[in-house]
Chains A and B, each alone.
Chain A
Amino acid sequence: MAHTQHRALPVLALAAAGIVALTSCGAGSRTDNANSTTVSCDYTAPEGKTTVNVLAYNSSAIDPFTDTMVSSCTTDDVTLKHDPIDFGGQVTKTTATLAGDTGTYDIIETYGFVIPGFGEEGKLVPLNDLWDKYADDYGLDEISQSMVEGMSYDGDIYAIPMQAQMFVLAYRTDIFDDLGLEVPTTFDEMITAAEAIKSAGLMEYPIALPWLATADVTTGFQGAMNSLGADFVTADGQVTLDTPEAKQAVEAMLALKPYMDPQVTTFDQPKVQQQMFNGTAAMSIMFSGRMFDLTLDSNSKLADSFGFAGAPKITADAPYSYNRLSIDGWSIPFNTKLDHDMLFQMMASAVSEDASKASVPAAYPAREGMVTEKNSPYGAAANDSIASAMPPIVSPIAADITNEIRPILVSILNGQISVDDGLAQMQAAGEKIAG
């Protein structure tokens, strides 16, 4: 027995040490964020202890607002509870919490793409009356009108805009200067620059775009179509995936592929960031919320070598840039049992002027004029980019179509099916959803 114990103890000790080490990897503060702050959050608290459950995915652009809300609005009797979650988890939990008469969450993070669908299904509380009631208290009139429209459907406001993201081009200033290259404004110019960088033997795949076979790749396709003034559907619900613009958009994406890692359809934004950090890519286009990470010395020794510019166009004569304007905001689910006034004030506090100021440069707040060249390293690029983005087409079926066409689009990009066949399949899939 003693011999068995003698053997078992080291095993147990090793296992225990391993478990402790592993659990410590997941530990950490949930609300400590350099770009959050404490703001005034004056609401009438309900009687007794109350918990407000907040659903918001974690990213460097969203965290400042979430953390400000949680730290500013929590009192002795009212606790705001927010657990870390990724974007995919938020999507699944949002669907689940909005399904029945009772839900898990009282405040949810939403984005422009899903507002029409949720609005049409009555899943979110219209905020118009609350907006009018509290506009002066929280300076809501200073929030960009176009972003308010982006979070509205059929005349109703369904979310308080928090921040926006748009595509921004990040590039290596040192390489561009050394080779005498101009910052690209079109896909053709990107290819020319990539050729020059490859010819100089600096890197094999100078272009990096997040085309992971999830929402990333369809967002890229939509951005390419938007550059040509088109989208997956028209405002009146016509599916437009077999149009000349759709073909031109796919061919423009394919033209970039030889200059990108062959496994690009497995690259999400963090992996594209990693390519830039590692110095294996010289140009990338990502949402602006990812740009701040590039400027941090702690992430890469190349942090000082990144420059930023507005997103390029597909072609020189395209009306808009290769771009998607994604607006994030706070919404109240229809099935929360808590007081809507209280929840609205919490949300409004989180996007107040002070909160928005603190969020820069990690985020691009929805309030007008917050981001400038002076307070954000990519501020000028973001402002240029937002000015050249096509206004979003509001359609309740766009999200479902996007999910349905994704595998077909990936098959086209991987060369498994031809462009024409793929477009025909995508059109058929889109029309099936549109009915």
Chain B
Amino acid sequence: MKAREFWLLFFPSLLIMGALLVLPLVRTVRWSFEQVRYGTPGTFVGLANFTDALTDPRFHRAVVFTVVVTVITTAILLVVGYIIATGINRITTSRPLVLGIMLVSYVLPNLVGAVAFSWLFDDNFGGVVNRLIGFFGGTQVLWFTDQVPNAILVIANTVWHMLPFAMLIILAGLQGVPNELKEAAKIDGANAFQTHISVIIPTIRGVLGFVTLITIMDVLRMFDNLIPLSPQAQNIGNESIMLYVYSVAFADGAENLGLGSAINVLTIILILVMLIPFIRGIFKEAKAER
């Protein structure tokens, strides 16, 4: 490809990425050092916004909650996604139907799905799960006001929403595993479990790394599902970082755009830190393939 053709094709993407990604990022970093209200130029306040955020116990709780949910959710998605993808990989005729049904939770708007999901645990709207717990002799679980049950609820919803994505990507990876490898393992006497651990998973580690990367980025930014699932998130310590940002920067007529930007910058750093191992892995793999 000639340089002129390359730039002709690449320029529109560069323009859009610059406008939608780079400019807002630059603005966010600038605002993080300013006190900003709607419609007024910001006032430089140095590191005050970062100091406010880093000394706020509520921010600490939000970071801990978000990271814990991210780690647990990612682990569940990888394991369950792999198991389901393996199962679906074995079926043939009914695969489109199963995939179509499984995709429902993924194509649902997150907020809509979370509202419907919350009703499973809410006696006012049927509370199917509560009825099941009662049927088996369990006591009332305070899903929305106790921290641990509520965290379980949030994780369950996130897994429910993102599982189809993880499963689809892993399924694509599984379909790329050469049959010769699996047959060789079988001839060498490996059982099914050993074949998965020693042959298939190492073969698709790049795909698993990709799923992990996307999942971490998505879950670290969770926001809208908490509105119905954790109505008093702040009080029980189940506030995500993004919900905290919304709360201090925008909710109830607040106009702390500088503080909100500072927390976003800190979140970007947190995301990068959590992704370093996976980004390194992808680079290594690309280098090895070259």
Contacts and interface: CB of A to CB of B under 8 A. Distances in A.
Interface stretch (A95-103, A155-163, A233-241): A95-103
Interface stretch (B8-16, B203-211, B228-236): B228-236
Given A11-B100, A99-B38, A101-B39, 17 more contacts: A10-B100, A11-B103, A14-B97, A14-B100, A15-B107, A25-B112, A88-B251, A91-B252, A99-B39, A213-B235, A263-B143, A266-B145, A278-B124, A280-B123, A280-B124, A407-B234, A407-B235
Contacts of A13: 100
A21 B143 CA distance: 30
Contacts of B253: 91-92, 94-95, 114, 399, 403
B73 to A, nearest CB: 23
Interface residue range, chain A? 35 or more
B235 A265 contact: yes
A8 B96 contact: yes
Interface of A: 7-11, 13-15, 18-19, 22, 25, 88, 91-92, 94-96, 99-101, 114, 212-213, 215, 261-263, 265-266, 268, 271, 274-275, 278, 280, 399, 403, 407, 410-411, 414, 416
Contacts of A101: 39
What 8 A-B pairs are tightest by C-beta distance, nearest first? Answer: A100-B39, A99-B38, A14-B100, A99-B39, A213-B232, A10-B96, A266-B231, A95-B253
B38 A100 contact: yes
B144 interface: yes
Contact of B124 (A95, A265, A275, A399): A275
Interface of A is mostly: helix
Interface residues of B, number: 34
A410 to B, nearest CB: 5
B145 A22 contact: no
Contacts of B235: 213, 265, 407, 410-411, 414, 416
B229 to A, nearest CB: 10
A91 B231 CA distance: 18
A99 B252 contact: no
Nearest to B95: A7
A101 B123 CA distance: 48
Interface of B: 37-40, 95-97, 99-101, 103-104, 107-109, 112, 123-125, 140, 142-145, 231-232, 234-235, 250-255
A99 B124 contact: no
Question: A25, A94, A407 — which one has the most chain B CB atoms within 10 A of its CB?
Answer: A407
A91 B247 CA distance: 13
Contact of B40 (A7, A99, A268): A99
A407 B104 CA distance: 36
30 contacts: A10-B96, A10-B97, A11-B96, A13-B100, A14-B96, A14-B100, A14-B101, A14-B103, A18-B107, A88-B251, A95-B38, A96-B38, A99-B37, A213-B231, A213-B235, A262-B140, A262-B142, A263-B145, A265-B232, A266-B145, A268-B231, A275-B124, A278-B124, A280-B123, A403-B253, A407-B234, A407-B235, A410-B232, A414-B145, A416-B235
Contacts of B252: 91, 215, 403
Contact of B103 (A15, A268, A278): A15
Contacts of A274: 124-125
Given A92-B253, A95-B38, A213-B231, A265 B99 contact: no
A434 to B, nearest CB: 17
A124 to B, nearest CB: 14
A262 B112 CA distance: 25
A9 B99 CA distance: 12
Nearest to B235: A410
A230 B206 CA distance: 65
Contacts of A266: 144-145, 231-232
Contacts of B96: 7-11, 14
Contacts of B112: 22, 25
Contacts of B104: 18
B85 to A, nearest CB: 15
Contacts of B142: 262-263
A100 B39 CA distance: 4
Nearest to B250: A92
B275 to A, nearest CB: 30
A232 B258 CA distance: 29
